[in-house]
Amino acid sequence: MSDTLRFLYRQFFLTPSATDPHQHSLEGRTGIVTGSNIGLGLEASRQLLSLRISRLILAVRDLSKGEKARRELARAAPWAIIEVWQLDLSSYASVQAFARRCDTLPKVDLAILNAGILKVEMQINQSTGHEEVLQVNYLSTALLAILLLPILAKSSEKSKAGRLTIVGSETAEWAKFQERTSKPILAAFNEPRYFDLQDRYYTSKLLEEFFVTSLCRTVPRSKVVVNIVNPGFCYGSGLHTEVTGALGVVFGIYKRIIGRSTAVGARTLVNAAVVQGEQSHGRYLSDCAMAPFAPMVEEKSEGAVAKTLWSEMMAEFSFTDAERIVERMKA
């Protein structure tokens, strides 16, 4: 079966199941969801509350939109502590500040890193010098994941291992990743000749898969279970807000015909963070089950490309304790 037929089969004939609150109670637990004021993040937050999570951090860029989401969620979950914290993945300083604030919590049991963007035109982040989709979807997401590791590991000292779920996409399979032949790789993302709005998003999701496989060769599942999940193609996510005009109308219709609702897509996020056990560590999940990574990752996860990406990323994060944190997780 071709990639396209497999995609359409999953979209039309597979419906992820909701997590059963009678079997999976989150009472007494604390969770974080990034990008949680809209779309998949908002729906995942709603579902975590349906499992009676006690404390939920809504990590958002726009505090006013986050507060609106908090009020909506609080009406259905008056028992829960729901907080809105600022997190701007365009800024390393914001990522670091958010992680430091998380470290003040008694514990964090789970984190769903959902926030991501798609850009119609190439844009360079003025504070980091990197192309913006690469910055938000890959670099800042990876940095946040690493900084949260020791915080999530505190949960494993008290009960079961903490859970870190990164929201990926099956579009990683379709990435061309032409930049991989460049030296260095990350700098090549700033070259206009490589920028294509679709492929840049696909490639950012492919890089997330490389990151998870590399990270989990060091981080033991006994401390933090790290996985990456594909929610499927969803309408109502807000991801394609920059696609406007006639193309936006056509794409909107396509999404409604092919797409799942964000409520259904969010079930996969909650399943990955709550239901899946230690066997999901370092694995790719789709439709609430383990599945293969993108072929390029399967073929090159231990090769030169993966090693170069990891090396360049650690060099990028040299202003933080990222490399030291990862090494300490071995002990």
pLDDT digits (tens, 9 = 90+) for 8-67: 777 677 789 999 999 999 999 999 999 999 999 999 999 999 999 999 999 999 999 999
Catalytic site residue from 92, 138, 194, 201: 201
What's the distance, CA 5 to chain centroid? Answer: 25
Q: Is the pLDDT of residue 157 over 60?
A: no
**pLDDT score recorded for residue 238:** 67
Distance (Å, rounded) from C-alpha 122 to C-alpha 133?
9
**pLDDT score recorded for residue 1:** 56
- Residue 201 among the catalytic residues: yes
**pLDDT score recorded for residue 301:** 66
Confidence bin at 260 (pLDDT 50/70/90): confident
**pLDDT score recorded for residue 40:** 97
Bond before 220 cis per omega within 30 degrees: no
Q: Is the pLDDT of residue 230 over 80?
A: yes
Structure tokens at 245: 């005009």
Confidence bin at 211 (pLDDT 50/70/90): very high
Q: Is the pLDDT of residue 239 over 80?
A: no
Phi and psi dihedrals of 111, rounded to 5? Answer: -140, 130
Residue 54 contacts residue 45 (beta carbons within 8 Å): no
Cβ–Cβ contacts within 10 Å for residue 96, how many? 16
**pLDDT score recorded for residue 221:** 95
**pLDDT score recorded for residue 299:** 85
Judged by phi (left if over 0) then psi (alpha if -120 to 50, else beta), residue 175 lies in beta
Phi and psi dihedrals of 62, rounded to 5? Answer: -105, 110
**pLDDT score recorded for residue 2:** 62
Report the candidate in 134, 150, 113 with the shortest Cα–Cα distance to residue 272: 113
Half-sphere exposure of 166 toward its Cβ, with a 13 Å CA cutoff? 38
The per-residue pLDDT for range 53-110, each reduced to its tens digit, is: 999 999 999 999 999 999 999 999 999 999 999 999 999 999 999 999 999 999 999 9
Catalytic site residue from 107, 194, 202, 205: 205
**pLDDT score recorded for residue 321:** 95
Q: Is the pLDDT of residue 3 over 90?
A: no
- Residue 205 among the catalytic residues: yes
The per-residue pLDDT for range 107-135, each reduced to its tens digit, is: 999 999 999 999 989 999 999 999 999 99
Amino acid at site 327: E
Distance (Å, rounded) from C-alpha 264 to C-alpha 155?
28
**pLDDT score recorded for residue 234:** 83
Helix (H, G, I), strand (E, B), or coil: what is residue 182? coil
Q: Is the pLDDT of residue 158 over 70?
A: no
SS3 letters across 89-116: CCCHHHHHHHHHHHCCCCCCCEEEECCC
Amino acid at site 4: T
Distance (Å, rounded) from C-alpha 271 to C-alpha 276?
6
Confidence bin at 156 (pLDDT 50/70/90): low
Report the candidate in 237, 64, 47, 65 with the shortest Cα–Cα distance to residue 56: 47
Helix (H, G, I), strand (E, B), or coil: what is residue 31? strand
Angle between helices 92-102 and 141-158 (to 10 degrees): 10
Confidence bin at 331 (pLDDT 50/70/90): low
Structure tokens at 313: 């990323």
**pLDDT score recorded for residue 8:** 74
292-325 per-residue burial string, b: 16 or more CB within 10 A, e: under 16 = ebbebbeebbeeebbebbbebbeebbeebebeeb
Give kind and range of the element (H or E) at residue 208: helix 197-215
Average pLDDT over residues 309-321: 97
Q: Is the pLDDT of residue 155 over 90?
A: no
- Residue carrying structure tokens 């996969």: 268
**pLDDT score recorded for residue 228:** 98
**pLDDT score recorded for residue 250:** 66
Phi and psi dihedrals of 164, rounded to 5? Answer: -125, 115
Structure tokens at 286: 């789709």
- DSSP tag of 218: T
- Work out the mean pLDDT of the chain and round it to a whole number: 92
The per-residue pLDDT for range 299-309, each reduced to its tens digit, is: 876 689 999 99
Structure tokens at 277: 């056990």
What's the distance, CA 232 to chain centroid? Answer: 13
Distance (Å, rounded) from C-alpha 188 to C-alpha 75?
47
